[in-house]
Structure 1
């Protein structure tokens, strides 16, 4: 099954759709901007936000639009506005199953699995051909099960959030679509953001979402492999090309097989994003 490509990343920056004065700066600072019609916009301002979206066009290759959940009356109006633009990548908030995707056939969809239902349905959602990526979210997830905090006092995610993160990543990988890591809301905690983004890159996430322009460079640096790691990956792939074989071989004292080759290829891809 062929899914739409995910050409964005590694640093995606949310921008309220009712703040057109911020559009250009957001695109300039990040690898792609997520123009948000959902949580960042109050219900009374959603109509004006849609008109701002239409009236202030950006390069569609750099834009994702987060639309309201299928369970709300706002989605139809969001999609009507989008069809007046060139934007064709949408992020569906609080996606909870394949039925939520029926109205989005004209778009490449990033499904945001951020409720208990959404996380449990992640694999089914990822199997739908219009889906290009999955993203997970911690705060709505915890709220959906009656909780009040996604993190321990020291900033680490609680086990429920860690489980959801892993489940969404596995579902994306199983169906060959990209995975996007959740936002880090503590703007003062650059070290925590760096650690999470480094972990995301190592695990195979394609991007991390940001809520402030100051987070962008932290995420980019975290996704970029070190010079030493890149040299290792390039040298390993060069050695494999010389050998012209797919089987196991020794390289710098380490046994290399197909999984390690795939890891080296991933390192090189990350370097090309820098």
Structure 2
């Protein structure tokens, strides 16, 4: 199984649900952190330009409370999204975060390795999460993911389509258009190539629980380490997708129990099993253990049909 990249001894473990929260709404910080596995405190698109100075003040006060041993858990589950490299807001954002206890920073609209290097220089030792959400970012995802300070890479569909001059990332049936699907795959492959975690994009239609459940299930099966969300109601659906069903977990454990009895490929319940399928089973067990550790609810739930 692939080993996740570490920065300052830390690997990206803040998943599988990452909930966005506007940085100018400090009254929501704690609620967002309680409801999801990690919170993304957003200084970029979620905050209107006139409100950004106040948002930075709120965030500075919050980060001060995370310093010291008592804030370790929440620090590991807090991501700050900053403005794109080269902008005035970027310089103001990194000036705020320099010397703070923040451990994970998401760089909006990352378009090049130089953008990542600028963030790394300003925030040494911080785990970086480039957000590839433009045409340039998607096509350069492999270069972007290669920086040693990058612990995860996320993609975004709506800004990507806007950068192409389009008007919709999805077809009428809710499926991504081909160009968005290609960008999604490129970012995941780039992240995995360099040992970084992949974070899947948000699902914008909050009321479409069926569409979210299907997309989250695809994210799990494809290898995304986490999926971002924009509303607390989306968290349980994503967690359910990442927690294997009872049948999946039983099958995986039974398969792995047979491995010591065979020297190579073997037949299991009518199917031929070799090393890749063993790795798949190991991932199912790992997801079950992670879900069990993160929740007091039963891990092996039946998925909604």
Q: TM-score range by the shorter chain?
A: over 0.9
CA RMSD of aligned residues (A): 1.4
1:248 corresponding residue in structure 2: 265
Q: Is the 8 A contact 2:76 2:103 kept in 1?
A: no
Tell me if the contact between 1:54 and 1:84 (Cα under 8 Å) persists in the aligned partners.
no
| Per-residue deviation, 1:199 | 0.4
Q: Aligned-pair distance for 1:3? A: 4.0
**2:62 matches 1:45:** no
The answer for unaligned runs of 5 or more in structure 1 is none
Residue 232 (structure 1) shift: 1.1
Q: Does 1:17 align with 2:36?
A: no
What do residues 138-172 of structure 1 show as CA deviations (whole Å, max 9, x unaligned)? 00000001101111122111111111111111111
Task: Identify the residue that residue 84 of structure 2 maps to in structure 1.
Answer: 69
SS at match of 1:74: helix
TM-score by length of 2: 0.86
Cα separation, 2, equivalents of 1:13 and 1:231:
31
Residue of structure 2 aligned with 1:189, choices 208, 216, 219: 208
What TM-score do the two structures reach when normalised by structure 1?
0.95
Contact 1:93 1:111 in 2 (8 A): yes
* Equivalent in 178, 191, 195 of residue 197 of structure 2: 178
CA deviation map 1:80-139 (0-9, x unaligned): 211243112001100001100123322111110000000000011111111111111000
In structure 1, what is the Cα distance between the partners aligned to 2:61 and 2:41?
Answer: 13
SS in 1 for 2:248: helix
Higher mean alpha-carbon deviation, 125-134 vs 32-41, is at 125-134
Which position in structure 2 is the counterpart of 1:93?
Answer: 108
Question: What is the aligned residue count?
Answer: 272
- Alignment partner of 2:277 out of 256, 260, 265: 260
Q: Quick check: 1:9–1:273 contact (8 Å CA) kept in 2?
A: no
Q: Give unmatched runs, 5+ long, in structure 2.
A: 67-73, 292-305
Aligned to 1:223: 242
| SS of corresponding position for 1:131 | coil
- In the aligned structure 2, how far is the partner of 1:85 from the partner of 1:173? 29
> 4+ residue runs of structure 1 moved beyond 3 angstroms?
1-4
